[in-house]
Copies of this chain bind each other. A is one copy, B any other.
Amino acid sequence: MTERLPAARVRNGYSAWRLIAEELRVEIGDGRLAVGDRLPTENSLSQRFSVNRHTARQAIAALAAEGLVESRRGSGTFVLGDTVRLHRIGVRTRLSSSLHEQRSAAADVRVLHSAVEEPPVDIAERLNIGGGRAVRVETSRSADGQPISVGTHWFDAERLPNIAEGMASAGSVTAALAASGIKDYVRVSTVVGARHATSMEGSLLSLGPGAIVLVTEALDSEPDGTPLQYLVSRFAAQRVRLDIEHPRTD
């Protein structure tokens, strides 16, 4: 009879192998396991996390399915790589530019859906449209063929009635605004959070269920302070870091 630690794993809704996989992902992400390194063996992982070897194997299999590691029979499991993109956030942040500092394959913005509707009160307030209607535009953005983020844009319907069509044809918020006579705008505020992706976001960003999204809520306005756009973006946290601009205050 083998000693059976009750383990008393709390029922947290996460399978053991998923928790192990996430822990290993962190070690890969922060460099404790560098590209090319060999992971601990399946036996040592199963001891470290107090699970059966098969459970540890499943964690590795999940990472391998993502292309993060590769197992080689007889020799071990090795870290392949961990590519993340940087998305710059600053006063002049625009959706379509400045993804991955060096402008790689142009960030491709697509309009998925648009509608004119009553905005939620907090958004109406921020856009300063008391009682008026708003244009809501749903977009998705990808770079190098890989989906990066989905966005929900809100505009004053009275002021910018044709913004959705402009965005769809120009493939850019900046260009659509320019077509409506707005030459310049600046980022006023950005708030960043993180949460699990919804099933809808998961399918748009080709993420598994339970994946994480970075959520930014931002307000853009004209240089004189008139609110223009309220934008909620959701980035695939696996693939994106937000790089925050700190202008020198010389």
Chain A interfacial positions (CB closer than 8 Å to B)? 10, 12-15, 17-19, 21-23, 25-26, 29-31, 62, 84, 86, 89-91, 120, 122, 186-196, 198-199, 208-210, 212-214, 232, 237, 240-244, 246-249
Contacts and interface: CB of A to CB of B under 8 A. Distances in A.
A84 B86 CA distance: 26
Nearest to A216: B244
B246 A209 contact: no
Nearest to A211: B12
A90 to B, nearest CB: 7
A128 to B, nearest CB: 18
A241 B191 contact: yes
A195 B19 contact: no
Given A190-B246, A212-B212, 11 more contacts: A13-B18, A13-B21, A15-B15, A19-B196, A91-B247, A91-B248, A188-B246, A193-B240, A193-B242, A196-B212, A244-B244
> Interface on chain A toward B: helix, strand, loop, or mixed SS?
mixed
A91 B120 CA distance: 32
A138 to B, nearest CB: 14
A7 B153 CA distance: 34
Smallest CB-CB A-B distances: 8 pairs: A13-B18, A194-B194, A22-B196, A14-B210, A194-B237, A190-B244, A192-B242, A13-B15
Q: Which of A15, A244, A247 has the most CB of B within 10 A?
A: A244
